[in-house]
Structure 1
Amino acid sequence: MATGGRRRLKVVAIIVSAVVLLGGGAAAAFAWTAAREPVVPRSEAGAIEHPPLSPVEQLLHDADDPLACALSFAGEGAPADPMLQRQSALFQGLPIPAREGFVFGGWYPTEAAATAFDQAARVNGADAVVCVDQQVQLFAGWMTPEQNVAENAQIPILMYHQFTAKAEGESGWLRGNYAYIGDFEAQMSHIASSGFYMPTWDELSAFIDGRLFLPAHSVIITDDDADQSWFDLAVPVIDKYKLLSTSFMITAYRQDPAPSIYVQRRSHTNDMHQAGDNGKGRMVNWTADQIAADLNASGDILGVREVMAYPFGHYNDTAKQGVAQAGYEMARTIEPGLVTIGTDKLALPVVRIDYGMTVDALIKRIG
């Protein structure tokens, strides 16, 4: 008799024995249940074996956080492994993949949006994480280098300083540095409602290299010095419109935590925002080693390097050497201009915002 047949006879014999020994309906019910109960896989030690967790399940299991979100990627050249994000925070560390003969076009919530390079749908570190069942997937977009160049993107970096609630402005020699908060709100409202893309600094770096596509309709918002008026007047506006911004902090003067998820803290040096021996900033008086030491101190406090802003806009080749030596990839000047493919990363130009600039004046500069 075949092995399967012998096994079935054995099971039936066990059931019949149970009925005879226990008797009646109860015994029959027991036998029926025993016959129906599935066989649970067990290890040699007797422990129940569970199927292995998927990479996404394992990531969420290890996080053990109800706000954890497993981000996975799809599309040619996309990373195979998921990465952990946190719901209600901004996306952090999104990869910029490389693919021979192509320029990365960004991350999108659907394949169709990735194919169309849908700017309104594009996702980056300026966006809050939104998950369904603690999971989200993004699709990679790719274009040719020719398509990227044809976009002719010229990225403005807006530079603000202090802010005032006085429509008539402040008095004194720094009057021009103070943006009227009413003008600032109108400018931020325009940026938010006009669908500007808000690049992160790593995206800007990859754009300069020609590795990443940025839409022509992009803008970066920065503030120098982290003045108290930035915290009191400007940050509530940034929060209101949910616009990614950067606060360049002089860390010897203040080390406040980020006042909003939309505010990135970056270095304005640790203690080089002072005049050196020749009356110009320390940045152009110190050696590369001294500059690097100061920037390392600032970077350690902020927990990030990436980009810094030159105090007073003063810099030279020695300053650039010190910046690079400290591990910073980019540096922002106060020189007017727009960032394009091939721009000097250690001499990023800006669009300076002075007192009296209205939203119409901003539109003339950035669209």
Structure 2
Amino acid sequence: MGTMTRALARIAMVGAALSLLAVTGCATEVVPASTPVAETTTPTPTPMPLTAAEQLLADAGDPAACAVSFVLDGTTLDPQLQTQDALYSLLPIPRADGRVFAGWYADTTAATAASADPAANAGNPATRVNGADLVACTAQQTTLYGAWTTPEAVTAENARVPLLMYHQFTDKPGGEEGWLRGNFAYVEDYRAHMHHIKDGAFYLPTWDELSAFIDGVLFLPDHAVIITDDDADPTWLTMAAPINEQLQLMATSFDITGDGVAEQNRFILPRSHTHNMHTAGANGKGQMVNLTPAEIAADMEASADALGGVKEVVAYPFGHHDERSKEGLRAAGFDMARTIEQGYVSVGSDKLALPCIRINFGMGVADLTELIG
């Protein structure tokens, strides 16, 4: 085809295109083959980072878990993982120079009131929260609010904390016979005692709280009491401990772990009555004043292992103790020990020689009221 012919052909093609445009009223953009067509995409949103509490829950993967957050003036605390419908475990006890911690509370109003008057609502289960309370959460989270008070408030309160000591129990109103008769509390007297404590809204400190109170860094009201039982006797397990579960009152059971650890309900704190030292030694007294500090420490380590590693407190068998006992307990990492000496725990008490209030057969509510208010 000649040059002229090709030119005429191009003119004819352009003319045909213009004729088509005139008929349809549409224009078509010719895109060069070498130009790519851009694709439209929707950007993926950046996920919000998890809060510290949410991360705890995600890592736990447990529907019964509860992330507890803390709000306290001048202090930043990480959230803590707890278990719903179980007693709170080892809530933090903050320390600050010139201040005394006045506890955790369910809301800011109660915390503010506690800062002004820490004794006012200390025993109200709807306000001050501690290890005597069951964990309750909404959507697996909750927040506790802390309060501070002053050393002067502690001095003014002058709290004396009784550690009640029970042993065995009987369902016989007239009691048991024999030389151990005094050890057996009538179970209906015990029930009345627990109702008195419950209805009177006594504050029930945990052992770590008692330790901090002795150090003068935690406020406890004078209206406080710790309930304990020695030996984890079958009568405790079947008669008395169910009363604590029914009334939701925390108590401590001192267990001789070498005989096997007794199964307790969720309101009972199993603690050590030694592993294999609840026997008489060469001098007729307990092994705590016969064995060496190293032997005592080894026994207490075994007891702690049986109790899942708990080393807070031990009850001396028969109450016998001396400096070697204390040395052995320190070596094993125990912070406190309860004797059978009568008395109350105050700020500055000897943590390895805590006194108690012994409960004997025949003591009713009037007797208990005289002892603890």
Paired with 1:98 and 1:342, the residues of 2 have a C-alpha distance of 17
Is 2:37 aligned against 1:40?
no
**Deviation string, structure 1 residues 142-189 (Cα, Å, up to 9, x no partner):** 011011111110000000000000010000110000000000000000
Give the structure with higher Rg (CA): 2
Alignment of 1:160-171 (within 5 A): 160-171=166-177
| Counterpart residue number, 2:265 | 260
| Counterpart residue number, 2:284 | 279
| Counterpart residue number, 1:147 | 153
Identity of aligned residues (%): 54
On the 8 A contact 1:72/1:82 being kept in 2, the answer is: yes
Paired with 1:143 and 1:166, the residues of 2 have a C-alpha distance of 47
**Deviation string, structure 1 residues 113-166 (Cα, Å, up to 9, x no partner):** 112222211000000011112111111110110111111100000000000000
Q: Aligned-pair distance for 1:100?
A: 1.9
Q: Aligned-pair distance for 1:53?
A: 1.2
Kindly provide the amino acid, as one letter, of the partner of residue 163 in structure 2.
Answer: I
SS state at 2:47 partner = coil
Kindly provide the amino acid, as one letter, of the partner of residue 295 in structure 1.
Answer: M
| Counterpart residue number, 1:5 | none
Structure 1 runs not aligned, ≥5 long:
1-19, 22-33, 42-47
Q: Aligned-pair distance for 1:56?
A: 1.7
Q: Aligned-pair distance for 1:323?
A: 1.1
Q: TM-score, normalised by structure 1?
A: 0.86
Is 2:117 aligned against 1:114?
no
On the 8 A contact 1:91/1:124 being kept in 2, the answer is: yes
On the 8 A contact 1:105/1:143 being kept in 2, the answer is: yes
| Counterpart residue number, 2:100 | 103
| Counterpart residue number, 1:298 | 303
| Counterpart residue number, 2:200 | 194
SS state at 2:259 partner = coil
Paired with 1:66 and 1:225, the residues of 2 have a C-alpha distance of 35
Paired with 2:139 and 2:349, the residues of 1 have a C-alpha distance of 42
Structure 2 runs not aligned, ≥5 long:
1-26, 29-38, 115-120
Paired with 1:355 and 1:78, the residues of 2 have a C-alpha distance of 48
| Counterpart residue number, 2:79 | 82
Q: Aligned-pair distance for 1:211?
A: 0.6
How many pairs were matched up?
A: 327
Kindly provide the amino acid, as one letter, of the partner of residue 51 in structure 1.
Answer: M
Alignment of 1:1-367 (within 5 A): 39-41=42-44, 49-117=46-114, 118-119=121-122, 120=124, 121-257=127-263, 259-303=264-308, 304-367=310-373
On the 8 A contact 1:77/1:98 being kept in 2, the answer is: no
Paired with 2:63 and 2:287, the residues of 1 have a C-alpha distance of 48
On the 8 A contact 1:77/1:99 being kept in 2, the answer is: no
Paired with 2:43 and 2:163, the residues of 1 have a C-alpha distance of 62
**Deviation string, structure 1 residues 197-255 (Cα, Å, up to 9, x no partner):** 00000000000000100111000000001100000101110101111111101111231
On the 8 A contact 1:251/1:298 being kept in 2, the answer is: yes
On the 8 A contact 1:196/1:219 being kept in 2, the answer is: yes
Question: Which shows bigger deviation, 244-253 or 108-117?
Answer: 108-117
SS state at 2:212 partner = helix
